[in-house]
A and B are shown apart, each in its own frame.
Chain A
């Protein structure tokens, strides 16, 4: 069994052998991609092959001799490339940083979850729970939101990144593979990628005539609800090269249940739809796509933010006042968020002969976020309305490999241009309207020989951002001394601030297989210097935080944040063990921290508002040090149907200027899972039963001045999973059941915005069933 194009053996692929009559037989390829099956009768044999990240294959094999040797080719499910470009295949790790991927059956077991929860199983990734519809934001190595970049089919996701309670508006169900790069990847992806990247990649379109797809559904007990999804891929026989996809999914859940009380009003309703049409010929490969996301997310009634006194009273009680009235019903009442997110893209890949190939992309995104607070009945509309429109153009040249003695040089120089307009509509000030242009020039080159690969990346990004402040916003910020008068000017309706940022970054990395006799051992190390341009809130925030009872202020004097980082990862992939250990450290110059700032006036050190005195937090540059590591392993017992996987992650972060710990850093986390792989039967394959324990330590490294409550205690969670596949001639039925928090433990996560008032959800079970089908005509083997 080999991969088409590279002729490399494909290990652990599942094969089903079916005669017209009789029971099917199963086999799996070994580490080199070989398999052997004996005792078959002469005649025509249908062979179906399945392997994650590869297209399914059906062949008919004529058995007309005592022994037949046959080579089967499987198409890898990565984007199509010109043969001249692929010298080193991008299989797995997309950079010299540590990374981890989810695909195939493993990803199918997460269907129906939000993005953050889908990737939270990876070591070094945790969730900042927002309290809105059970959604969360991913935390990668201690960094949240603005320091992590999310790429959907290569397009950087553009939403309102500044809000802690704004879950990313992307649909993980549309992805065929999700990869998390744990570490800086600014030179490749841009200045927002200075701590981590989440890559969501769709399955490639069909490249041969046929029909394939997936239909599935899920149901869960906590939060109770369910949903369904469908995807159809079609490549017509009469129009060679044309392929299209239609997909959609919908889910509806009611409020989640903590062990002692419902998390009132945390119901969610979400639907997504998308289409993609592509055309491939020898001369060009183009595709256009459009997808839309709609979600309505109820925000827990338990979040009491209207006054500091109420907030602190709730914190000291450990539960909100009036919790006896809470219910787990379906209704999504105020407070809630309503979101539309549109993404349209057009992409072309043009082979340029000996030069390489040109990739050009245009994308447009429109993010419409409305937030509804509890208000008097006469008010029917949202209290906060944000509309963000982003155009992005990217052109890159994947140049053909150049031979330099034993080395080959491959690389991708590119340019980007973006334009973004944000419109903010509310009666209060918070963030201003703005328009910005951004541009980037980069080149990532790799020098490759058989066991060593050197990567060198350089990038320059620039941005000009013009913020338009209304009268009250401008005069208030001017009076507070927060506007830099060299870039801000009064106008008839308030004032404008225009500032240019320059953000150069560089990366140097090495990937090596240091021991010739141990090809499974690889070592990757990267050093980077990455610049991040401050967000709109870091410059201009002026109002009440949506997540805490505080007023937050930005500063137009804040400049770029520069990270100096280094990391190293050792990976070993053997026949029965895969293990990986990573360590990293980064010093961040002008780290933009959100810190308390004492105020003068009647309510000093707080500020007087009509809702009582509030603390003030301001964005201030400081120096910070981040460090930590992850370890993970995956053992499969030789000759026994047993497996064991485990992972651990540690993050430490300090504000060096103030000599204190930084807030919202995930606690130490350990996970261990045992798996029994039950034998294949006449109808089922790849069955497993899994038991998983997760231990999360208490976060003891905190500064109480930066928080409203002591960190919650350590906790232990028990989970279980059960899954099986039923392969058919041209379909595979996958079924799984996943149980979470099976001991119904009361616990609170340090990085949850709900933890001041409410426990995290109690036990729950989720059932998923899906059918992957492929109605293509079998090829003759």
Chain B
């Protein structure tokens, strides 16, 4: 009796192991952001300027790299920020997912030479303002109708060099209480630490010419 039982136990578990092998190479659900694209569209017309941070192997051993952002001085731009998972095949645009969960996300724009809700720099190369609201992307169900930061306006000032840092924070509700609050950009500008998780934190060299 015990021999028969051994055989059936062993067989059933072998079957379990084989079933696992069959799915080798199957994709896991995830949402790695490996490319960040900044698209500056001049307010007064003209071709858009694109700059990107790219980390083609994700958290592998090859370092990511960011383009140098070069903008003409004293000009207004619409800045669209896009997030892409290039590790998926074909690449996956995650900006759409962030729009769909606009109430859980906020893009911060800061850096040396940047002024705006999340930055207060002494040298003023450009000024940032949010140009979107959660309600632009769907129903505003939680709290105030806050900016998301996928669309922004940028006004460049006098020439100079500095840095432009883009931070995307994931701020889902925690224990039923909203983590995304109106004062977060100000708090970041004041050097305070913020709740939530960092999805993106990339820094570009900035030159206003």
Contact = CB atoms under 8 A, between A and B. Distances in A.
Nearest to A324: B177
B57 A288 contact: no
B33 interface: yes
Nearest to B205: A602
A657 B64 CA distance: 32
A433 B179 CA distance: 38
Contacts of A364: 10, 13-14, 17
Given A290-B9, A429-B60, A379 B17 contact: no
A306 B30 contact: no
A286 interface: yes
Contacts of A384: 28
Contact of B24 (A277, A433, A608): A433
B97 interface: yes
Interface in A367-387: 374-385, 387
B31 interface: yes
A306 B198 contact: yes
A425 B24 CA distance: 8
Contacts of A329: 175
A427 B198 contact: no
B190 interface: no
A260 interface: no
Interface stretch (A81-89, A101-109, A475-483): A475-483
B14 A327 contact: no
Contacts of B10: 344, 346, 362, 364
Contacts of B58: 427-429, 472, 543, 609-610
Interface in B43-75: 53, 55, 57-66
A702 B9 CA distance: 49
Contacts of B203: 612
A288 B2 contact: yes
Interface in A397-431: 421, 423, 425-429
A610 B36 contact: yes
A611 interface: yes
A100 interface: no
B62 A279 contact: no
B63 A599 contact: yes
Given A426-B28, A602-B66, A610-B34, A309 B201 contact: yes
A427 B27 contact: yes
B17 A421 contact: yes
Interface string B150-178: 00000000000000000000101011010
A326 B59 contact: no
Interface residues of B, number: 64
B88 to A, nearest CB: 7
B195 A381 contact: no
Contact of A376 (B16, B31, B194, B198): B31
B59 A378 contact: no
A547 B203 CA distance: 25
A310 B168 CA distance: 13
Contacts of B193: 310, 313-314, 317, 321
Interface centre among A344, A379, A427, A551 (most CB of B within 10 A): A427
Interface string B17-39: 10011011111111111111000
Contact of B87 (A288, A472, A601): A472
A452 to B, nearest CB: 41
Nearest to B17: A389
Given A376-B31, A379-B29, A389-B20, A321 B59 contact: no
Given A362-B10, A385-B28, A421-B17, A609 B64 contact: yes
Contacts of A516: none
A553 interface: yes
B197 interface: yes
B93 interface: no
A375 B20 contact: no
Contacts of A251: none
A403 B57 CA distance: 66
B34 to A, nearest CB: 6
Interface in B174-209: 174-175, 177, 179, 193-203
B21 A427 contact: no
Contacts of B14: 364
A564 interface: no
A607 B63 contact: yes
A321 B27 contact: no
A542 interface: yes
Interface string A678-691: 00000000000000
Interface in B90-140: 97-98, 100-101, 104
Contact of A610 (B5, B29, B55, B170): B55
A366 interface: yes
A482 B61 CA distance: 9
A241 to B, nearest CB: 11
Contacts of A472: 57-58, 60, 87
A664 B5 CA distance: 45
Nearest to B14: A364
Given A317-B193, A326-B175, A610-B33, A479 B62 contact: yes
Contacts of A433: 24
A309 B197 CA distance: 11
A658 interface: no
A427 B104 contact: no
B170 A374 contact: yes
Contacts of A425: 23, 26-28
Interface string A286-311: 11101000000000010010110110
B140 to A, nearest CB: 16
A619 B195 CA distance: 32
B57 to A, nearest CB: 4
A278 interface: yes
Interface in A319-340: 321-322, 325-327, 329
A601 B54 CA distance: 13
Given A376-B31, A383-B30, A608-B55, A601 B65 contact: yes
Contacts of A382: 28-29
A561 B179 CA distance: 47
A376 B17 CA distance: 31
- A329, A344, A551, A608 pick with most chain B CB within 10 angstroms: A608
A706 B61 CA distance: 20
Contact of B28 (A326, A362, A381): A381
A342 B14 CA distance: 12
Interface string A584-624: 00000000000000011111000111111010100000000
A325 B6 contact: no
A278 B63 contact: no
A473 interface: yes
Contact of A287 (B2, B9, B23, B30): B2
Nearest to A382: B28
B198 A307 contact: yes
A152 interface: no
A120 B153 CA distance: 59
Given A375-B31, A381-B28, A427-B30, A301 B61 contact: no
A420 to B, nearest CB: 10
A167 interface: no
A325 B24 contact: no
A630 interface: no
Closest 7 CB pairs of A and B: A476-B60, A322-B195, A612-B201, A427-B30, A480-B61, A313-B193, A601-B63
Given A306-B198, A542-B60, A607-B63, 16 more contacts: A264-B174, A288-B9, A306-B197, A307-B201, A375-B30, A375-B31, A377-B172, A379-B31, A381-B29, A382-B29, A423-B23, A427-B87, A428-B87, A472-B57, A480-B62, A608-B202
11 contacts: A279-B1, A314-B193, A322-B174, A322-B196, A364-B13, A376-B101, A377-B101, A423-B20, A425-B28, A544-B59, A608-B65
Interface of B: 1-3, 5-6, 9-10, 13-14, 16-17, 20-21, 23-36, 53, 55, 57-66, 85, 87-88, 97-98, 100-101, 104, 170, 172, 174-175, 177, 179, 193-203
